[in-house]
A = this chain, B = another copy of it.
Amino acid sequence: MTGSGASTALLTDHYELTMVAAALAAGTADRRCVFETFARRLPDGRRYGIVGGTARVIEAIADFTFGDDELRELADHEVVDAATLDWLANYRFRGDVDGYPEGELYFPGSPLFTVRGTFAEAVLLETLVLSILNHDSAIVSAGARMVSAANGRPIIEMGGRRTHERAAVSSARAAYLAGFATTSNLEAGRTYTIPTAGTCAHAFTLLHDSERDAFAAQVEALGSDTTLLVDTYDITQGIETAIEVAGTGLGAIRIDSGDVGVLARQARAQLDALGARNTRIVVSGDLDENAIAALRAEPVDAYGVGTSLVTGSGSPTAGMVYKLVEVDGRPVAKRSSHKESRAGWKAALRRCKPTGTALEEVVYAVADGTPERGEHDRELVEPMLRGGQPVGDPPTLDESRQRVRDGLVSLPWEGLKLSHGEPAIPTVYQ
Question: A residues bordering B, Cβ < 8 Å?
Answer: 8, 10-19, 21-23, 25-26, 28, 31, 33, 35, 60, 69-70, 73-74, 77, 79, 81, 119, 123, 126-128, 130-132, 134-135, 158, 160-170, 184-187, 189-190, 196-204, 206-208, 213, 216-218, 220-222, 231-235, 238, 257-258, 285, 307, 310-312, 316-317, 319, 322-324, 327, 332-339
Contacts of A207 in B (CB 8 A): 23, 28, 31, 33, 119, 324, 327, 332
Query: Do the beta carbons of B324 and A202 come within 8 Å of each other?
Result: yes
Please determine whether B186 and A79 come into contact, CB atoms closer than 8 angstroms. yes
Q: A258-B336, A336-B233, A336-B257 are in contact. Are A22 and B162 (CB under 8 A)?
A: no
Minimal Cβ-Cβ distance residue in B for A169: B11
A238 shortest CB reach to chain B, Å: 8
Determine whether the beta carbon of B257 is less than 8 Å from that of A339.
Answer: yes
Partner pick for A161 among B127, B164, B336, B338, CB 8 A cutoff: B127
Distance between Cα atoms of A22 and B339 in the complex (Å): 57
Partner of A167, one of B8, B135, B162: B135
Contact B134 A186 (CB under 8 A): no
Contact A170 B164 (CB under 8 A): yes
CB–CB A217/B163 < 8 A: no
Residues of B within 8 A of A187 (CB): 10-12
Sample (11) of A-B pairs whose CB atoms are under 8 Å apart: A15-B201, A18-B222, A25-B217, A127-B160, A130-B161, A161-B322, A163-B316, A166-B166, A206-B332, A231-B334, A232-B335
Contact status B206-A324, CB under 8 Å? yes
* Nearest CB of chain B from residue A338's CB, rounded to whole Å: 7
Chain B residues with CB below 8 A from A28, complex form: 207-208, 217
A8 nearest in chain B by CB position: B165
Contacts of A135 in B (CB 8 A): 163-165, 167
Interchain CB contact under 8 A, A231 and B336: yes
Nearest-CB residue, chain B, relative to A229: B15
Q: Which of B14, B160, B206 contacts A334 (CB 8 A)?
A: B206
B158/A13 in contact, CB under 8 A: yes
Q: Which residue of B lies closest to A193 (CB)?
A: B77
Give the one of A162, A200, A234 with max B CB within 10 A. A162
Q: Knowing A161-B127, A317-B162 are in contact, say whether A190-B26 is a contact too (CB < 8 A).
A: no
Q: Select the residue from A60, A232, A238 with max chain B CB neighbours within 10 A.
A: A232
Once A127-B160, A337-B258 are accepted as A-B contacts, the answer to whether A35 and B203 lie under 8 Å apart by CB is: yes
How many angstroms from the CA of A370 to the CA of B322 in the assembled complex? 56
Task: Give, as a whole number of angstroms, the nearest-CB distance from A217 to chain B.
Answer: 4
Please state if B165 and A132 are interface contacts (CB–CB under 8 Å). yes
Measured between beta carbons, the chain B residues less than 8 angstroms from A164 are: 131-132, 135, 163-164, 166-167, 170
Query: Quick one: closest B residue to A327, CB to CB?
Result: B207
**A203-B35, A337-B258 known; A184 vs B131 contact (CB < 8 Å):** no
Contacts of A168 in B (CB 8 A): 11, 131
Contacting pair A14 B165 (CB below 8 A): no
Point out the residue from B15, B161, B167 that lies within 8 Å of A184, measured CB to CB: B15
User: Which B residues lie within 8 Å of A70 (CB)?
Assistant: 190
A184 to chain B, nearest CB (A): 4
Complexed CA–CA distance, A18 and B203 (Å) = 12
Contact A128 B206 (CB under 8 A): no
Alpha-carbon gap, A337 to B21, bound state (A): 60
Q: Report A282 CB to chain B, min CB distance, Å.
A: 12
Query: Within the complex, what minimum Cβ distance (angstroms) separates A252 from chain B?
Result: 13
